[in-house]
Structures are given as C-alpha cells and as structure tokens.
Amino acid sequence: MSQGLAGRLTDDGHALDVRIYFEDTDFSGVVYHARYLNFLERGRSDFLRLKGIGHRELLAGRYGAPLIFAVRHMDIDFLRPARIDDVVTVTTRTALLGGARIILDQRIACGDAVLVKATVKVAVLSPEGKPMRLPKDMHAQLQPTASA
C-alpha cells in the first residue's frame, strides 16, 4: 500500500502530495516557515527515488565513491500560508545541471494557489564534505525536461 507514497514523475520533473499535520503548524495558526524546507527536501528525495537514486545507496557508495547531496543556497518566497489538514503539492524540476551541482526549481501549491517558490542549489559532496562530480548515470537521469 506504499504505492504512490513517493509521488509521481511529471513531464518536466516530479510532484509529491504532502499532508499538513499538527507538527507542521505553529501558534500563529499556520505552517511554521521552516517546515516548508522539509517539504521541499521530501520532494527532492522522492524525485531522486523515482529516478532510482536512494540516499542510503548513495552514502554506501553504490554509485562509485560514497556521496551525499548538500543544499548550498536557497532563495525562497513565502507567498501564502498552508493550514492544518491541507494537502499541498510539492513540484520539483531540474533548472540547471552542472558537473558538481544541480539547481532545482521547486514550488509548493495548494490547489491553484502557489504558497512557496524556491530556487535550490545542491552540491554533490563526499561524506567528509569534499566537492565531488555527479556520476554520469545520475547526470543522464536528472537532465532538465528530457522529453522536450
């Protein structure tokens, strides 16, 4: 029954539905701003997952040297708040694919309303924090709009 838990691949990337629970809200009555970064990370993780790339395998060296992805820079607009019981959709698409970094465009929407827009720069690192090159297989998998 875990089918669909990782969201779905779309024409230009990935979409993931996320439920807002008690834990996500704060006393102002809406979602605590930092929680949106958790939702964005779930979107990125499940995008990679559906492309066949798991964090545990990455760190265990299944793609050559052990690798982790680390967020290096984020530019983020908090436009409208989500509320308890809402279901929001996190969309992720590759904007730019370099040798050692990836830039992703991500959004969180509730129905037609865009709640959050973010540009996220992710680096590929060794577990010790040294910049690494993105393995070729992965490079091919994460090409922006492969279909276009």
Q: What angle do CA 56, 45, 8 make, to 5 degrees?
A: 125
Of the pair 58, 143, the CB lying nearest a second copy is at 58
Of the pair 17, 137, the CB lying nearest a second copy is at 17
Distance CA 22, CA 6 (A): 21
DSSP secondary structure of 126-139? -TTS-B-PPPHHHH
- Contact yes or no for 89/108 (Cβ under 8 A): yes
In the complex, the smallest distance separating the C-beta of residue 53 from a second copy, rounded to whole angstroms, is 10
Q: What CA–CA distances, in Å, run from 12 to 20, 57, 64, 121?
A: 25, 25, 27, 18
For 87, the enclosing helix (H) or strand (E) is: strand 87-97
Of the pair 84, 97, the CB lying nearest a second copy is at 84
Select which of 12, 17, 26, 105 is catalytic: 26
Contact residues: a second copy, CB under 8 A: 1-6, 8, 15, 17, 19, 21-23, 25-30, 32-35, 37-38, 41-42, 45-46, 49, 54-56, 59, 68, 70-78, 80-81, 83-85, 87, 89, 127, 129
Of the pair 65, 78, the CB lying nearest a second copy is at 78
In the complex, the smallest distance separating the C-beta of residue 49 from a second copy, rounded to whole angstroms, is 7
* CB atoms near residue 138 (< 10 Å): 20
In the complex, the smallest distance separating the C-beta of residue 65 from a second copy, rounded to whole angstroms, is 15
Q: Is 26 annotated as catalytic? A: yes
In the complex, the smallest distance separating the C-beta of residue 87 from a second copy, rounded to whole angstroms, is 4
Which residues are the active-site residues? 26
